[in-house]
Structure 1
Amino acid sequence: MTSDRHSRNNNDDNNESTALIKNDLFIKRQRPDSYRNHFYWLFSSLTALVSYKFINGLARLVTVSVVGHLGSQELAGMSLAQMLESCTTLYLALGLTSALDTLCGQAWTGAKDKTIIGLYIQRSIMIYITGAISICIFWILCLKYLMNDGSTDEAVIRYAGIYILFFIPGIVTYAGYHIAGAYLQAQGIMRVGGYGALLSIPVTIAANYLLVVGKPFELGPAGAALADSTSSIIMLIIMMSYIIFNTKSQAGWGGWHIRHALQDWGPIIRLCIPTICLHLLMSGIPQLCTLAISHFGETYSIAAHFILLKSSMAFHAFAHGLKHAMATRIGNLMGQGSLADVKRAIVMSSVFAFCLATVSSTLLIVWRREYPSLYTKDEDIAQVVSKVLPILALQLVGYIYSNLAIGICDGLGRQRITVTMAFIAYFILGIPTCYFFAFTMKWAVLGLWIGLMIAEFIFAILLFIHLYMLNWSKELYEIEKRIKKG
C-alpha cells in the first residue's frame, strides 16, 4: 500500500486517481485498516457499481420498448437474437471479467511488477476474440437450423439474423468495457463505469428514436441493434479515455506484448469456464420454471411469473454490485497478505448485505398490493403477484447473500467451488423442491417461487460453510505462488 493509504487520510481515500500501491513496492501491512475505512471503501465502490449496472440494464430495456412498438415479429426476432447473445458472448465476457477480478485484484497488491495486470488484460482480449469468432459461426448454424426446421416463423429468424449482424459492434465493445472496467477496479477506480453508464442513457434514447423509427433512417431491428450498441460504445470510449489521459491509471499497463498475450491462457480459462457455467445454471432454473408454468393451463399464471421474474431482475443490480466490489476487495487484500483486513472487509460487507436485503424486501412486502398495478390491470394476475411478492422478497435476501459469498470466492479464485455449490443447490435440491411445492402441493406459481427461495438460501449457506472451513493461510500461500509464477 502507498504511504498515503498508511496515513489513513480519508481525503486521499476519496481520490480515485490515487493508486493503491507503488509500482515496485510490496508491503504486507502490519496493522489492519480500520472498520471505518473498510466501510467507506465498500460504500463508495458499491454505490458506483450498482449505479452503473442498473443504468446499463435500463438502456437495454429502452430498446426493447421501442422494438415492441414495431410489431410482434420484430420483438420476437430481437428476443431470439438476445437469447443467443446472452448465453454465448455475454456469458463469455462475464466469465473473463470474473477471472480478471481475481487475477488483477490479487496481482495489483501482491506483485512487484504491476504491469502483469496489463498482460492479463491482453490475454483476455485475445481469448475473447478467439471465442467470439467461434460463437458467430455457432449463431449462423443455429439460425440455419431453425430456418430448415420450419417450426419458427421465417420472418422472426430473419429479424434475429439482422439484429445479430448489426449488433457486432456491441459484441466487441460490451466485452471491451467489461475488461477495461476490471482493469480499473483492480486499482480501486470504480466510478468511471457509473459516469459512462449515466452519459450513455440519453445517447441510447436518441439513437433508438433516430435509427429505429425516426426518419429518414427507419432501420427497424437493424437500427435497434445499432442503438443497443451505443451504450457499450460510449462506456468503452469513456473508460479508455480515462485510462489514456489519467497517468496514474496507467500504472498497470506495460505496453502491448502480442507474443506474451498469446501464451499462458490457462489461468484465465480455468477461472472463466466455471463462471460461465454458473451463469447458465442460475439463469436455467427460472427458464425451467417458465416452462413448468405452461402446464398449469392458466394464462394469467404465465403473465404473473413473467412480472415476478422481471421484478427480481430489477433488484439484482444490488447483489451484482456487491459481488464485484467484494471480488476486487478480497483480491486486493489477499494479494497484500492481510488476513485481518480480509476479516474486517467481510464483516462490513455483511452489514451492507443486510441493509440491501432489508430495504429491497421491505419495499416489496409493503407495496405488494399496489405493485402489480404498474404492470397489469388484470385482477387474476395482480392477485397472484401480490400473493407471491413476500416469497420473492425472501428470495432476494438469499440472492444478495449468495452473491456476497460468490464475490468472496471470486476474490480468492475459487470459481469452481461456486459452480459446484450452484449445481447442488439449484439442480439437485432446487428442482425437486420446486416440483414438490408447485405440483405435489398444487401451489402453482407460489410453489415454484418457494422452491426458488429455498434453493437460493441453500446456495448461500453452502458457500458460507465452505468459506468458514477454508484454510485461509493456505489460500495466501497459493495466491502468492500464482503471483510469482505470473
Structure 2
Amino acid sequence: MENSSNKLPLLTPEETPPQLLRRPSHHSFDSSFVADADDIAPITGVRDFYREFIIESRKLWYLAGPAIFTSICQYSLGAITQTFAGHVGTLQLAAFSVENSVIAGLSFGVMLGMGSALETLCGQAFGAGQIDMLGVYMQRSWVILNCTGVILMFVYIFAAQFLRLIGQTEDISREAGKLAIWMIPQLFAYAMNFPIAKFLQSQSKIMAMAWISAAALVVHTVFSWLFMLKLGWGLAGGAVVLNFSWWFIVLAQLVYIFSGTCGEAWSGFSWKAFQNLWGFVRLSLASAVMLCLETWYFMALVLFAGYLKNAEIAVDALSICTNIVGWAVMVAIGCNAAISVRVSNELGAAHPRTAKFSVVVVVLSSFVIGLVLSLILIIFRDQYPSLFTNSEEVKRVVYGLTPLLATCLVINNIQPALSGVAIGAGWQAVVAYVNIVCYYVFGIPIGLIMGYKLDMGVKGIWIGMLSGTVVQTLVLFWIVYRTNWNKEASIAEQRIRQWGGEPERAKGSEN
C-alpha cells in the first residue's frame, strides 16, 4: 500500500503551504500515482499525530467555524418562523412544521443534493489549480436547478391534496397547503443559493457568506415578530418574511461575486454553462439521491407522527425535537462543508495522506461537539420546551423525548461529517445505495413496528429510525477505513479532465 512517496521528509509548520492555496498538480495518473511533494508524511507516532492534528484542525476550523455560523443562521430562518408559529396557535405550528418538513423539506433535499455535485467538481478543480472552471460549473448548476424548480413548483401548488393523500388531517393539510403556495419564491431562492454556496465554499470564501447570513437573520427575526405577532398576520406574515430573507441572501452573495472578489473563478456569464448539461444532470442527480434519502428520512419521522392518536400533539412535540436536532445538525453541516472542501481540495492537489488525515480530525471533532451539545440539552431539559410552545401537554411529551434527543445529537454530528467525506471524494452514488438499505429497508420498518405494533408511539418511531442512522454511520466508517486514498487522488485527476477542468494550454501541451 505504501509507495515511494512515503519516504518524503517531515514538513515543519513553516514549510506547510498557505491555507488551501495549492499549486496545480502536473502528475499523470495514467500509469502509477505519485503524491505531490507537499503531502504530509506518514504518521509514525503520538508526537507526529499531535503535530499534524493541530495543523489540520486549524485548516479545518478556518472553514468550519464560518460554515457552522452560516448554516445556523440560514436554518434559523425557518426555525424562528416555526417558533413564532407556535405562539400563534397549535394548528399553525403543526401546519408550518408539516409544510417545512414535507413540502419545503422535499425541495430543500433535492436542491441541496443537486447543488452538492459542485462540492466535488469545484473543490477538486480548485485544488488542482483549475480556477477558471468554477464559474462555469456554478452556471451549469443554476440552469439545472431552476429547471428542477419549475417541476417541483407543482408539488407546492398541489400540496394540500398531496398531504391529504398521504394521510394528514384535513385541518393541517388545508393550512399547510395554503402556506406552501405562499412559499414558492423560497423554492427558486434555493435553486440559486446552493450553487453559489458550493462555489464560494470551494474557494474558502466562507466569511462573506457568514456576514450575509447574519444580517439576514437579524432582519428576519425583527420582521417575523412584527408581521406574525404584532400585526397579527400569522402564517401569511411568516411566509412574506421568510421569502424575503432567502432572496436577500441570494442577491447579496451575487453582488459579492460580481464585484470581482473571486478573481479568475468568476469571469462573467459563459455559453459553456450549456455544454454537457446532460452529463452534469446525471452527476447532480446522483448527489441529489444521496442527500434526499437523508433529508426525507427525517421528514418521514414527522409524517408518521401525523398518523398517531392525538396527531396534533404528537406532531408538535416531534417538530420541536427535530427543530433542535436541525439546529445541532447545522453545526455538523458546517463540518460537512469543511471536510468536503478539505478532501476535494487535497485530492485535487494530489495529497492523499492529507485528505485521509483530514477525515480523522473531523470525525473526532464532530464526536466531541455532539457530546457537548447533548450535555447542554440535558442540563436545560426543564427549560427549553417553553421556548417553542405554551401547551403543557406538548411540553410533557417533549420532556419525555429528551434522552432520545440527546443521543440523536451525538449520532447526527458524526454522520454528516462522514457524508461530507463522501461528497468531497465523489462517492455520492455508493452512499445513495447505503442510505436506501440502512434507512428505508432497516430503519423505517423497525420504527413503524415499534411505534404502531408495539404501541410505543413517537418514541418507538424515533428509536427505530435512529437505529437506521447508527447502521448507516457504521457502514460509512467501514467505507472510509477501507479507502485507498492514492487511488482516490488519481480518480480526482481523471474527473477534472472529464469535466473540462484542464486548461487549454495543458491540453495543447499534450498534443
Coarse TM-score class (shorter-chain normalised): 0.7 to 0.9
Q: Which segment is superposed worse, 375-384 or 190-199?
A: 375-384
**Aligned residue for 2:245?**
231
Cα pair distance change 1:26/1:306, threshold 3 Å? same
Correspondence for 2:39 among 20, 32, 45: 32
Kindly report which structure 2 residues correspond to 1:19-418, keeping only aligned pairs within 5 A, or say none: 20-21=21-22, 29-32=36-39, 34-66=52-84, 82=100, 85-111=103-129, 113-140=130-157, 160=177, 167-208=183-224, 223-247=237-261, 249-258=262-271, 260-290=272-302, 292-293=304-305, 297=309, 303-375=316-388, 382=395, 384-418=397-431
- The aligned length equals 470
Worse-matched range after superposition: 183-192 or 328-337: 183-192
Give the Cα separation in 1 of the matches to 2:265 and 2:282. 23
Say whether 1:446 aligns with 2:459: yes
Change (3 A) 1:9 1:282: same
Per-residue CA shift, 1:435-457, capped at 9, x if unaligned?
45445655444333322332211
Give distance in 1, aligned partners of 2:493 and 2:241.
44
1:7: Cα distance to partner?
9.4
Query: What is the deviation of 1:328?
Result: 1.2
Distance (Å, rounded) in 2 between the aligned partners of 1:463 and 1:333: 20
Q: How far apart are residue 187 of structure 1 and its match?
A: 0.9
1:309-365: CA deviation from partner (whole Å, max 9, x where unpaired): 333222111111111111111110110010111122112112211221111122233
List gaps (5 residues or longer) in structure 2.
1-10, 28-34, 41-51, 501-511
Task: State whether residues 332 and 417 of structure 2, in contact with CA within 8 Å, keep that contact through their aligned partners in structure 1.
Answer: yes
Cα distance in 1 between the residues matched to 2:161 and 2:390: 40
Moved more, 29-38 or 379-388: 379-388
The answer to whether the 8 Å contact 2:352/2:488 transfers is: no
- Partners of 1:323 and 1:403 within 8 A in 2: yes
Quick one: structure 1 residues 171 and 297, their matched pair in 2 at CA, closer, same or farther if it must change by over 3 Å? closer
Contact 1:391–1:453 under 8 Å retained in 2: no
Structure 2: distance between partners of 1:145 and 1:404: 33
Alpha-carbon distance between aligned partners in 1 of 2:228 and 2:319, rounded to the nearest angstrom: 26
Work out the CA distance in 1 between the residues paired with 2:37 and 2:429: 32
The 8 Å contact of residues 106 and 296 in structure 2, kept in 1 or not, is answered as: no
**1:281, CA displacement in angstroms?**
2.9
TM-align CA RMSD:
3.8
1:285–1:381: structure 2 CA closer, same or farther, 3 Å change rule?
Answer: same
Matches of 1:419 and 1:147, distance apart in 2: 29
Once the two structures are TM-superposed, the CA of residue 480 in structure 1 deviates from its matched residue by: 0.9
Q: Distance in 1 between matches of 2:236 and 2:381?
A: 39
Alpha-carbon distance change, 271 to 323 in structure 1, aligned in 2, over 3 angstroms: farther
> What amino acid maps onto 2:251 in structure 1?
I
Offset from partner CA, 1:180-209 (integer Å, 9 cap, x none): 221111111212111111111232234446
Which residue of structure 1 lines up, in the alignment, with residue 49 of structure 2? none
CA contact (8 A) 2:146 2:192 kept: no
Q: Provide TM-score, normalisation by structure 1.
A: 0.83
Are the aligned partners of 1:118 and 1:183 in contact in 2 as well (CA < 8 Å)? yes
**CA 1:422/1:242 → structure 2, altered by over 3 Å: closer, same or farther?**
same
Return 375-384 or 343-352, whichever deviates more: 375-384
Distance 2:375 2:385 in 1: 16
Task: Name the stretch that deviates more: 236-245 or 339-348.
Answer: 236-245
Distance 1:257 1:40 in 2: 36
State the partner residue of 1:419: 432
- 2:37 partner amino acid: Q
Helix, strand or coil for the counterpart of 2:38? coil
Cα distance, 1:393 vs structure 2: 1.9
Is 1:431 equivalent to 2:437 in the alignment?
A: no
What is the one-letter code of the residue matched to 2:138?
I
Q: Which runs of 5+ in 1 are unaligned?
A: 1-5
Match of residue 503 from structure 2: none
1:20 counterpart letter in structure 2: L
Q: Matched residues in 2 for 1:143 and 1:372: separation? A: 29
- Cα shift at 1:129: 2.1
Cα 1:435–1:70 shift into 2, 3 Å: closer
The change in CA–CA distance for 1:7 and 1:415 in structure 2 (over 3 A counts) is same
Aligned equivalents of 2:192, 2:14: Cα separation in 1? 34
Gap change, CA 1:250 and 1:223, over 3 Å in 2: farther
CA contact (8 A) 2:355 2:485 kept: no
Contact 2:115–2:195 (8 Å) recurs in 1: yes
1:100, 1:121 within 8 Å by CA — same for their partners in 2?
yes
